[in-house]
Amino acid sequence: MRHLDRSAPGEREAGERTWEVVRAAFEERLPSPRRRDWRPFALAAAAAVVLAAAFSPPGNAVFGSLRDAVRGDQNAKPALASLPAPGRLLAESTSGTWIVQNDGSKRLLTGYRDAAWSPHGLYVAAVHGSELRALEPNGRVHWSLGRTGRLANPRWSFDGFRVAYFAGRSLRIVNGDGTGDRLLTRDVRPGPAAWQPNTHTLAYVNRAGDIEITDVDKRNGNAIAQTRAAPRQLDWASELKTLAAIEPHAFEVFSRRGPRIGGLDRGIAQVSAAAVSPDGKRIAFVETRGGRSTLQLTDVLGGPTGAIFSGAGTFANVGWSPDGRWLLLDWSSADQWLFIHSPVKKVLAVSNIRANFGADSTIAGWCCP
Amino acid sequence: MVAGSRGDERAWIRGAQSGSVPDLEALFKHHWPRAYRAAYLVVHDSGAAEDIAQEAFLAAVRSLDRFDRRRPFGPWLHRIVVNRAIDWSRSRALRRESGDAALAVVAAAAPPERGHEEPLAAALADLSPEHRAVIVMRHLLDYTPGEIAEALGLPRGTVNSRLRRGLDELAEKLDEDLK
């Protein structure tokens, strides 16, 4: 029986991750007189790091090369010829949902919106009129489900067994094969919802603007994360098992049991989009201030930021390639998509996005080599 | 594992209660391996074991101010871990019964985490979660049947019969494997 007292698989790594979460929860609960508020110093240090990066010779080179890379049509390709990393893209426009293959070939699924990949990219869940449908990338519909109320934002759990979606002002769950549709809650703000990897635990925003984290099968043991402002986007970081909440002027990071364990307050800058890297360690986010947008990168628990790219106007969205080596930035004001290698080594710009994909086009997901 | 006496543990708890991160870290490092192993041996899923052990430690952090440091920390932590591990195993069994197999076309089959295991741990995985739990508490965590009964809220006789039956099943499975 002494054989039982041996290291279990993943014990050390899980311990390291858990210690980070426990330490953060512990520091969060300490009475305020004991805590010194380091945020002003941290912000000043972060600003110094960004400025130093921007104006040091290597920083100049990076910013200069990025500016050059997107200056005018001579550098941006007129159409998307191929993706720089394995996988397929989902893009949306007023015409419908586009599936873009790795070689740049694309197919329009007319009339579909709010599309999301299934875990391995075999299917897409999308809304068509008053129906939620699961279809293959070639357009063949596997199942559909009609519901009253505006359907929106289907999200597939990581094992493919559950799909969460909004119907009017309620949040519903259906099995991955289209059976077992049921109401999860009406205490919800339609919009963001995110499955925790490898679980049937869903995070969503309740009417009060806080985050509820619940196992949709057990329906008990809800955790509530109290936010500063209602999040517009939720994203799990699989590595640390933490939840990033994107708020209008900040992002906050919570443990799966609810305590806040990190984040960044961006002051008056508006945080408009963000994406956690596939390894769960970094977060890329877009902030806009005074008509200028900046793509920033930082550790998922917060800390110093690094400006990756800055440009006039609006960056509508950002996403990671499945291998975590590229960022795709939707520079909607410039009608361009930028593929940015991370760390920054190369930038590939593609223009004429509206002409190629239709009005109001934006990226919706990059999935599955 | 960090070696630590009861005196060390009391000092760590006292330090953590007054805000010392190093003391909390010492307490965590001392108790993490067995908490995680216990969860893993009941659920046989490393992701779930991490969640369960992590939740137990977060519960400890939340209750730290109220914790009576004259009492040992381990039994309190292990009770949370093992009860949550049993709940998790039961809920997963129920989920399987609800027909998820039909969805396999959508999901890639996840290989069970069995290939690396010792024969004993692998045989343990074939028992019911209730039997696994009492065996893990008795033979990994070294609790007496009376202590197990208290931790799991069971009559002592039930613990003894589960131990006996679980060990018999385990012996049978190991015999089969060796044949």
**What is the Cα–Cα distance from B86 to A120, expressed in whole angstroms?**
30
% of chain A with per-residue pLDDT over 90: 47
**What is the Cα–Cα distance from A239 to B168, expressed in whole angstroms?**
39
Please return the burial class of A282, using the count of CB atoms within 10 Å of its CB with bins 0-12, 13-18 and 19+.
Answer: buried
Find the mean pLDDT for residues B146-158: 90
Q: Is the peptide bond before B155 cis (omega within 30 degrees of 0)?
A: no
Q: B5, B74 in Cβ contact below 8 A?
A: no
Q: A242, A234 in Cβ contact below 8 A?
A: no
Q: What is the 3-state secondary structure (H, E, C) of A134-182?
A: EECCCCCEEEEEECCCCEEEEEECCCCCEEEEEECCEEEEEECCCCCCE
Q: B36, B76 in Cβ contact below 8 A?
A: no
DSSP 3-state of A295: strand
Which of B30, B50, B89 is the best substitution to test chain A (most A C-beta atoms within 10 A)? B50
Q: What is the ipTM of this complex?
A: 0.82
% of chain B with per-residue pLDDT over 70: 79
Asked if the B114-179 domain carries CATH number 1.10.10.10, the reply is: yes
Q: A363, A317 in Cβ contact below 8 A?
A: yes
Does the pLDDT value for residue B93 go beyond 80?
no
Closest residue on chain B to A3 (Cα): B120
Q: How far is CA A111 from the centre of its chain?
A: 24
Distance from CA of A234 to the nearest CA of B (A): 20
Q: Are B25 and A14 a contacting pair at CB < 8 A?
A: no
Q: Are A22 and B107 a contacting pair at CB < 8 A?
A: no
Residue-level pLDDT at B60: 86
Cβ contacts of A287-290, under 8 Å, gap ≥ 24: A288/A314, A288/A315
Q: Does A178 touch chain B (CB under 8 A)?
A: no
**Contact list, A175 vs chain B (CB under 8 Å):** 99-100, 103
Domain A38-367: give its CATH code.
2.130.10.10
Amino acid at A4: L
Of A8, A23, A217, which has the smallest distance from its Cβ to B40's Cβ? Answer: A8
DSSP 3-state of A246: strand
**What is the Cα–Cα distance from A108 to A88, expressed in whole angstroms?**
14
| Radius of gyration of chain A from its Cα atoms, rounded to whole angstroms | 21
| Radius of gyration of chain B from its Cα atoms, rounded to whole angstroms | 18
Residue-level pLDDT at B171: 85
**Contact list, A119 vs chain B (CB under 8 Å):** 106-108
DSSP 3-state of A202: strand
Amino acid at A292: R
Closest residue on chain A to B22 (Cα): A23
Q: Are B140 and A4 a contacting pair at CB < 8 A?
A: yes
Residue-level pLDDT at B54: 87
Does the pLDDT value for residue B160 go beyond 80?
yes
Average pLDDT taken over every residue of chain B: 80
Going by the DSSP 8-state scheme, the letter that residue A354 receives in this structure is H
What fold characterizes domain B1-106? Rna Polymerase Sigma Factor; Chain: A (1.10.1740)
Amino acid at A114: D
Going by the DSSP 8-state scheme, the letter that residue A225 receives in this structure is E
**Contact list, A19 vs chain B (CB under 8 Å):** 25, 28-29, 32
Helices (H), chain A: 11-29, 39-55, 57-69, 353-357
Residue-level pLDDT at A73: 37
Find the mean pLDDT for residues B52-60: 86
Residue-level pLDDT at A59: 38
Domain locations in chain A as residue ranges: 38-367
- Tens of pLDDT along chain A (369 residues) come to 555 677 888 899 889 888 887 887 787 665 433 333 434 433 443 443 343 344 333 334 344 434 444 443 346 777 787 898 889 999 999 889 999 998 889 899 999 999 999 988 889 999 999 999 999 988 999 999 998 889 999 999 988 999 999 999 899 999 999 999 999 999 999 999 999 988 899 999 999 999 999 999 986 668 899 998 999 999 998 766 899 999 999 999 998 888 888 888 888 889 989 999 988 889 999 999 888 899 999 988 877 888 988 888 889 999 999 999 999 999 988 889 999 998 877 888 898 898 889 888 889 999 986
DSSP 3-state of A330: strand
Domain locations in chain B as residue ranges: 1-106, 114-179
**What is the Cα–Cα distance from A172 to A163, expressed in whole angstroms?**
8
196-235 of A, contacting B, C-beta below 8 A: 198-200, 215, 217-218
**What is the Cα–Cα distance from A140 to A77, expressed in whole angstroms?**
32
